[in-house]
A and B are shown apart, each in its own frame.
Chain A
Amino acid sequence: MRTLAVLNEDMRRASNMADKVMIIGGGIAGIQASLDLAEAGAEVLLVEKTASIGGKMAALDKNFPTFDCSICIEAPKMSDVTHNPNIKVLTLAEVTEVKGEEGNFQVTINQKPRFVTDACTRCDLCVQACPQVLKNEFDAGVGARKAIYTPFSQAEPGPYTIDIESCLNDPPNYLPCGRCTDACGPEAIDFNMTPNVIKENVASIIVATGFDLFNASLLEEFGYSSDPDILTSYELERMLNAAGPTEGEIIKPSNGKHPENILFVLCAGSRDKRFVPYCSRTCCMYSIKEASQLVDHGIKDVTVLYMDIRAYGKGFDELYSRSQKDIRYIRSRPASVKRKGDAISVRYTTNDGKIIEETYDMVVLATASIPSKGTEKLAKTLDLELSEDGFFKNRLEDPVSTTRKGIFVAGCASGPKDIPDSVTEASAATAQALKYVKKREWIEEPAPPPLDVSGEPKIGVFLCDCGSNIAGVVDVRKVAEEIRALPNVAYVEENKFTCAGSSQDAIAEKIKEKNLNRVVVGACSPKTHGVTFQRVCSRAGLNPYLFEMANVRNMDSWVHKKEKVPATEKAVDIVNMAVSKARLLTPMDDIEFPVIRTGLVIGGGPAGIAAASSLSNMGVEVHLVEREDKLGGLLNSIDVISPELEKADKTLQKLQDGLRRSGAIIHTSTTVKEISGFVGNFSAALSDGTKVEAGAVIIATGADPYEPTEFKYGTDPEVITSLDLEKNYSKVEGDKYSIISCVGSRKGDKGCSRFCCSTMLQQAIDLKEKGKTVRVFYKDIRAYERNAEELYRKAGEKGVQFFRYEPSKSPEEAIEFDGTSLIFVDDLSSTKMKAPVDHLVLNIGLKPKDEEIFTQLKLSRDSEGFLLEVHPKLGPVEAAVQGVFLAGTVQGPKGVKESISQGYATAAKAAKLLFRGKIDKEPIIPQIEQSKCVKCLRCAEVCPYGAIKGERGKWINLVPAACMGCGNCVAECNIEGAISMPNFTDKQIMTQIDAATAEKPEEKLVVFACNWCSYAGADQAGISKIQYPPSARVIRTMCSSRISQKLVMYAFSKNPGAVLVTGCHINDCHYIDANEYTEKRVDRWKRFLEAKKVNPDRLQLWWVSAAEGNRFASKIREMDALIKSLSKDEITSTESKLKGVVRR
């Protein structure tokens, strides 16, 4: 936190700087919006009522369905927020007044004093001194805190805070306590701090106040308030967390013993007319996730009682079906949950009418999400309307709008939603808020003078305990001792959490204090935290390329939990490898590229229209290309948009009016014939002859409706699809309609199409209102959206009959159609039934399209064939290819409102790229040494991007902008010293091999891993805690194609047990097809080894995707077994066998 003096100075400066946007709420939505806005050149005022930003996401242990460590992916963003000079964070602050209008709001904010200044070093001595023990809200009251505290280790801003209400110094202080003041070395505690009233002018406001959890005590029948072993899922989440109150141990709060069986109860408070009538949308998935984690914790009997499993998102169904082999799912709801002796007795009914009474050691209630405390008051302050559900009101055609111009809403403030939907809305709200930001500026903190790094390397090593994540397994102190003894190591420090803001500041200080010129952090994965620490170096004036990371957590402590000694030895090796590489690091500067300030939007459905109009409204030139002769995509084929119940034509009209007003250039009846280029500089040839040069491309080409062959569709005229019905509402004939859901969805690799349940419910109601008998056949009613559960209830009220067919089967397997009736087993009553039908409506979802531009832009697909986003949680609208953004159903099936949100979100992402006008690129681009190069052009031939130009024997040149940095060219080159790859030089990799094989090489497995898939897969094995033998030493390169014969033979010359080359699966390579070269090379090297009488099985190639932690671990197990089967002689003779072929 900045001190008040700095704050006031900021305010003075503000008058002639960029326009400001105020964001209320510092959860993940507020954080994402802050970053998007700041990067687009707006100034941001982030107002958070608690002591730290981070919100609920910071408290979660893991995210579904990826099992990402929640704080690990959020903390870097939190730290980015507090370090971004465009963002001012006000914690312990509340907005009390808003005057004025859009473009110029005058806001008043009350900020409570923190009583701890920025001098705080988070040493925790004050906490130990404080006598007041209180419930820790962050741990849902399960854990304790003191009156002086920090909510969690990674809290931002960093200083501790005093809960003055509970502090013994709270006036009237007859007995002043002062223990914390005495304990505080840097004298950071200041009881004289006073509340602060801040007045600011802001152009726009984003409300991102999140949600709170339903009070489970109100559900009397579930016994929450009377029994400690009945938990809420939030309490369990904290218990699962290694930094939580039980340090990740699952114990019964009543007696501290390990539970043997656990029951989850879904819809605790949600979908319940007594409490929260709507669906809370995330509980099904977080419960499946928590249940799976419990199975991983060794709890054998995990049962889930559910009403409908609403696994509507990408990869959700996959997780659900995977989990079914370990977890028992029963469709029911308990009548009572209460203590019976040592256990908790639960009574429920099964579908066949049996009453079950079972006992469990623990029961977990998936409590509903409700509007966050203070929502009503804030609505009044901001003059905004709330919906019946108590959340802020928004509109279909503008999902982040509120009832007041210039004020937007994002995340759970407008209804429960999961993280990707929240960050999408955050970006969408950014796009809308940016309309009011006329003056833009990127405040640059004066860069400290670059440190002189020319002398001998002086390496500072910072070793993270990661709470107990690392220190619980690895003897970090011992590692520190060993590392301290290495040459060039000038300083070693152990941190509880190296990534915490205060630790970061401490690293920067140490760099200056100890004149460090290289930094190594031994913590978690460089993929999640590398950039964070690089920034720390930059802030201290140290070139960020003089930083190296050792992945002790994901690749050691998490995967060798029971082997503490070998894990500590491995940690020494891993850190030594990083230190060795650090010695050889050289300073480098990012390469800057210009960005063409034009946006290209491909596809003119709702997502594309939203994207184009929003971007155009910000003053960017935008081309919107639509294949058909009119805009609107599938909106043209539907009558009513559900669950919002708006007429599709009217909504389309509103969207189109907005688009016309925005001034975007519209190309209808036009296709993109060809597109090429890279971030900032794409070039597209349109079929109408236009050539568009654009800095950013938004793909919104949509998806196709599924074309059924099931149920005699196409041959029986009485069988129609839900889409056919939309077009023919006016002419529905006959009396008896049956709608069958999930036709073509949720089977094999086809997931849930997400929007169709709402459509089905609306169609059922409509038909019912037209006087028809309506029967719905479903698996799960996934009415998860705002207003959708209400539709479900309404359909019931109206007399729509619901039948659940056998959920393990596809509809065509579960339901027999003989032309006049349907024969099926009704799962709800376990009875075989026959129902007459005149008209059959097949409720269909979407299937992915195949467009040539996907290949031309090298976009990856997910398992179903939709375009793959860069990160399923925090990067839902960005493609892995920089400068390309994904909007709408091209990224996965979704409803109209969600598509529009994504459209806006991509506009914000494009805007921050285009406004800035330039991008920085990592200098990981090969250097050709012209004097040594013979211009054979073998490197040019293997370059996947054609980035190397030349003429055989004459000249050669590399185009930096086109190069993506795989290193395939370097591995292909046979001429020593002719081409090298900065940051991944031969020498750097070889020194890592040296360090890896320094001790007991014959027991070691040298693993080369590519940055994108296999290294991430190895990370994933750690995240999933999949245990494997501690023999592997992983060396990361950008691509497997960087690994050359020289490196492999060098590795073998060190007499390791074996060498494993890993990379992305074929067709998944992040450098088009570079890994195909790896495949050919490894094959060749194996033959080479064989010729040299070295067992070729000791070199293997293995493809691992980022998600395949298990596949990585099982291969290591296999290789370890191989090594153990070899004789020591065989291994140690390798060096001599390879004599003469190893280059150094």
Chain B
Amino acid sequence: MVDDSRWEKVTNLTGFDGNECFQCGACTATCPLGYMGEETIDTRNLMRRAQIGLDLSEGIWNCSTCKLCENSCPRQVNIVNVIRGLRQLEFEDRKAPDKIVAMLWDIYENGNPWGGKKSDRSKWSEGLQIKDADNGSDVLLYVGCDAAYNKNLHGSLRSLADLLKKAGVDFGTLGNKERCCGEPVRNAGEAYYLDDLVRDNIATFEKTGAKTIVAFSPHCEHMFEKYYRERGLKIEVKHYSEYLNDLVKKGKLSFKEGKTGKITIHDPCYLSRYDGGGDDLREILHSIPGIEVKEMESSGKNSLCCGGGGNRMFIDFEGKRLSDFRMEQARSTGAETVLTACPVCNMNLTDSGKTNGIDLKVKEVSEFLEENVK
């Protein structure tokens, strides 16, 4: 039965975004999960159900929010937004997976989804003597949970800090006071807690008096630029690749003729599709003299997701992973190093490389730049 009261709720939660869909199905067939043979999502059917308020089908928690489906949508439906709305409905109906609920409790209690302690957040910066942003600095470096609680990424964070210092940037962090940006909360459909979290974070950021927030993760950067912005954040926000590129353009950073070897670039969804193409990433890499970039089959706005977005990191999925496929794509370019600029991508690609025995270095762009900086 078509249930009109449920439909009203769905359309409100999805901001009417699904209504325009005319059910061509390009989204379902575009979804990279389907390509991988991973448990896929019938995106078109989800849109259909959002349009008429029927009970949800399977697969709603599989979405990595990579937005690749929206590339080919002729009606330019904000598909990911509809999916987030549908997740909210699931959450409210207490149908969210247990692991997601547990992850939310982690954020609530410890300020991060990884179960790490609040006091461990700034461990990466030990010995670097980074300013406390509360004491006033031009730039607030927002570290983000993924890098802060993953030892393997600490080096990348330190590289970024070094580069900023080298360029003479006045920056600070919130140290252990930093809390999750709320992206996992948003993707879990927990709207009420998200409101609180975002409000608190905005107040914390604004209090520092910083002019610019530089985010290490594109996920956080997107959250600030789009979600926080609509809710009153005034400070300028940049992903570090864009900020560093600005420094290069201003002549504050430059690179030596390096022996970089052949590299390829894995564009993070949240940089390329969400924020317009990953141009800064390429520009800054190409400013390294003598660099040899081999592009993958899918790059730029058509980049393939690593499979880690949309809270997929917190749920176990079986079978072949997107990052496995992506690493194979990277290898087939003949490159020696695959660069990326997102902690989630970094974790997934590294892991896939190890499990599949692919002899290809996965490196964060910050680290790579530091190696080549003059």
Within the complex, the shortest CB–CB distance from A354 to chain B, in Å, comes to 9
Contacts of A348 in B (CB 8 A): 25-26, 29
Does A799 count as interface, using CB distance less than 8 angstroms?
yes
CA distance A347 to B29 in the complex (A): 6
- With A353-B28, A353-B44 already in contact, the answer to whether A796 and B21 are too (CB < 8 A) is yes
Does A829 count as interface, using CB distance less than 8 angstroms?
yes
CA distance A1013 to B52 in the complex (A): 52
CA distance A803 to B52 in the complex (A): 9
Query: Do B24 and A332 touch across chains, with their CB atoms under 8 A apart?
Result: yes
| Interface magnitude class on chain B | 20 to 34
Binding stretch for chain B, among A393-401, A616-624, A688-696, A831-839: A831-839
Query: Do A355 and B28 touch across chains, with their CB atoms under 8 A apart?
Result: yes
- With A221-B72, A836-B2 already in contact, the answer to whether A334 and B52 are too (CB < 8 A) is no
Query: Do A333 and B4 touch across chains, with their CB atoms under 8 A apart?
Result: no
CA distance A1111 to B19 in the complex (A): 49
Does A271 count as interface, using CB distance less than 8 angstroms?
yes
CA distance A829 to B46 in the complex (A): 10
Query: Do B75 and A349 touch across chains, with their CB atoms under 8 A apart?
Result: no
Does A272 count as interface, using CB distance less than 8 angstroms?
yes
- With A335-B30, A349-B28 already in contact, the answer to whether A793 and B20 are too (CB < 8 A) is yes
Query: Do A829 and B45 touch across chains, with their CB atoms under 8 A apart?
Result: yes
Does B302 count as interface, using CB distance less than 8 angstroms?
yes
Within the complex, the shortest CB–CB distance from B25 to chain A, in Å, comes to 3
CA distance A835 to B6 in the complex (A): 13
CA distance A803 to B48 in the complex (A): 10
Which one of A220, A353, A736 contacts B302 once the chains associate, using CB atoms below 8 Å? A220
Query: Do B302 and A335 touch across chains, with their CB atoms under 8 A apart?
Result: no
Within the complex, the shortest CB–CB distance from B52 to chain A, in Å, comes to 5
A305 (CB) vs chain B CBs: closest residue: B24
* Interface residue ranges of B235-261 to A (CB < 8 Å): none
Which one of A355, A801, A802 contacts B40 once the chains associate, using CB atoms below 8 Å? A355
Query: Do B4 and A773 touch across chains, with their CB atoms under 8 A apart?
Result: yes
Contacts of A775 in B (CB 8 A): 2
CA distance A335 to B23 in the complex (A): 13
Query: Do B74 and A272 touch across chains, with their CB atoms under 8 A apart?
Result: yes
Query: Do A273 and B75 touch across chains, with their CB atoms under 8 A apart?
Result: yes
Contacts of B29 in A (CB 8 A): 334-336, 347-349, 355-356
CA distance A334 to B25 in the complex (A): 8
Query: Do A835 and B1 touch across chains, with their CB atoms under 8 A apart?
Result: yes
Interface size on A, residues (CB 8 A): 43
CA distance A336 to B52 in the complex (A): 28
* Interface residue ranges of A822-859 to B (CB < 8 Å): 826, 828-829, 831, 833-836
A781 (CB) vs chain B CBs: closest residue: B22
CA distance A829 to B72 in the complex (A): 20
Contacts of A796 in B (CB 8 A): 19-22, 75
CA distance A802 to B47 in the complex (A): 12
Within the complex, the shortest CB–CB distance from A90 to chain B, in Å, comes to 41
CA distance A347 to B68 in the complex (A): 15
Query: Do B2 and A833 touch across chains, with their CB atoms under 8 A apart?
Result: yes
Within the complex, the shortest CB–CB distance from B71 to chain A, in Å, comes to 7
CA distance A353 to B25 in the complex (A): 8
Does A1144 count as interface, using CB distance less than 8 angstroms?
no
A348 (CB) vs chain B CBs: closest residue: B29
Which one of A273, A353, A797, A835 contacts B74 once the chains associate, using CB atoms below 8 Å? A273
Does B132 count as interface, using CB distance less than 8 angstroms?
no
Does A274 count as interface, using CB distance less than 8 angstroms?
yes
Query: Do A332 and B19 touch across chains, with their CB atoms under 8 A apart?
Result: no
In the complex, the number of residue pairs spanning A and B with C-beta atoms less than 8 Å apart equals 102
A831 (CB) vs chain B CBs: closest residue: B54
B26-56 contact mask (Cβ, 8 Å, vs A): 1 or 0: 1111100010000010101100110110100
CA distance A833 to B16 in the complex (A): 22
- With A273-B75, A355-B40, A834-B1 already in contact, the answer to whether A335 and B26 are too (CB < 8 A) is yes
Within the complex, the shortest CB–CB distance from B11 to chain A, in Å, comes to 6
- With A349-B29, A799-B11 already in contact, the answer to whether A267 and B74 are too (CB < 8 A) is yes
B20 (CB) vs chain A CBs: closest residue: A796
Contacts of B1 in A (CB 8 A): 821, 833-836
A797-814 contact mask (Cβ, 8 Å, vs B): 1 or 0: 111111100000000000
Does A321 count as interface, using CB distance less than 8 angstroms?
no
Query: Do B30 and A836 touch across chains, with their CB atoms under 8 A apart?
Result: no
B7 (CB) vs chain A CBs: closest residue: A801
Does A307 count as interface, using CB distance less than 8 angstroms?
yes
Does B76 count as interface, using CB distance less than 8 angstroms?
yes
Does A1133 count as interface, using CB distance less than 8 angstroms?
no
* Interface residue ranges of A598-624 to B (CB < 8 Å): none
Contacts of A669 in B (CB 8 A): none
Query: Do A221 and B71 touch across chains, with their CB atoms under 8 A apart?
Result: yes
Does A381 count as interface, using CB distance less than 8 angstroms?
no
Query: Do A797 and B22 touch across chains, with their CB atoms under 8 A apart?
Result: no
CA distance A333 to B34 in the complex (A): 16
A274 (CB) vs chain B CBs: closest residue: B76
Within the complex, the shortest CB–CB distance from A735 to chain B, in Å, comes to 8
Within the complex, the shortest CB–CB distance from A42 to chain B, in Å, comes to 45
Does A217 count as interface, using CB distance less than 8 angstroms?
no
Contacts of A221 in B (CB 8 A): 26, 30, 71-72
Does A930 count as interface, using CB distance less than 8 angstroms?
no
Within the complex, the shortest CB–CB distance from B345 to chain A, in Å, comes to 23
Query: Do A307 and B22 touch across chains, with their CB atoms under 8 A apart?
Result: yes
Does A350 count as interface, using CB distance less than 8 angstroms?
yes
Contacts of B7 in A (CB 8 A): 801
CA distance A184 to B49 in the complex (A): 71
- With A799-B19, A829-B45 already in contact, the answer to whether A273 and B72 are too (CB < 8 A) is no
Query: Do B2 and A332 touch across chains, with their CB atoms under 8 A apart?
Result: no
Which one of A349, A826, A831 contacts B25 once the chains associate, using CB atoms below 8 Å? A349
CA distance A797 to B71 in the complex (A): 20
Contacts of A797 in B (CB 8 A): 16, 19-20
B44 (CB) vs chain A CBs: closest residue: A349
CA distance A220 to B298 in the complex (A): 12
Within the complex, the shortest CB–CB distance from B94 to chain A, in Å, comes to 25
CA distance A835 to B16 in the complex (A): 20
CA distance A272 to B24 in the complex (A): 11
CA distance A773 to B49 in the complex (A): 16
- Residue from A221, A332, A349 with most neighbouring chain B CB atoms (10 Å): A349
Contacts of B45 in A (CB 8 A): 353, 829
Contacts of A799 in B (CB 8 A): 11, 16, 19
* Interface residue ranges of B193-235 to A (CB < 8 Å): none
CA distance A736 to B7 in the complex (A): 13
Contacts of A334 in B (CB 8 A): 26, 29
Contacts of B27 in A (CB 8 A): 335
* Interface residue ranges of A779-797 to B (CB < 8 Å): 792-793, 796-797
Contacts of B23 in A (CB 8 A): 351, 828
Contacts of A271 in B (CB 8 A): 22, 74
Which one of B19, B30, B48, B74 contacts A828 once the chains associate, using CB atoms below 8 Å? B48
Within the complex, the shortest CB–CB distance from A900 to chain B, in Å, comes to 30
Within the complex, the shortest CB–CB distance from B43 to chain A, in Å, comes to 9
CA distance A800 to B16 in the complex (A): 11
Query: Do B48 and A829 touch across chains, with their CB atoms under 8 A apart?
Result: yes
B109-121 contact mask (Cβ, 8 Å, vs A): 1 or 0: 0000000000000
A sample of 6 more A-B contacts (CB under 8 A), given A349-B29, A801-B52, A826-B52, is A273-B74, A335-B30, A351-B25, A353-B44, A821-B1, A836-B1
Would you list the 7 A-B pairs with minimal beta carbon distance, nearest first? A349-B25, A335-B29, A333-B24, A272-B74, A335-B30, A835-B2, A349-B28
- Sample 24 A-B pairs with CB under 8 A, ordered by A number: A221-B71, A273-B75, A273-B76, A333-B24, A333-B26, A335-B25, A335-B28, A335-B29, A335-B72, A349-B44, A350-B25, A351-B25, A353-B42, A353-B44, A775-B2, A796-B20, A796-B75, A797-B19, A799-B16, A799-B19, A801-B2, A801-B51, A831-B54, A833-B54
Q: Which residues of B contact A (CB under 8 A)?
A: 1-2, 4, 7, 11, 16, 19-30, 34, 40, 42, 44-45, 48-49, 51-52, 54, 71-72, 74-76, 302
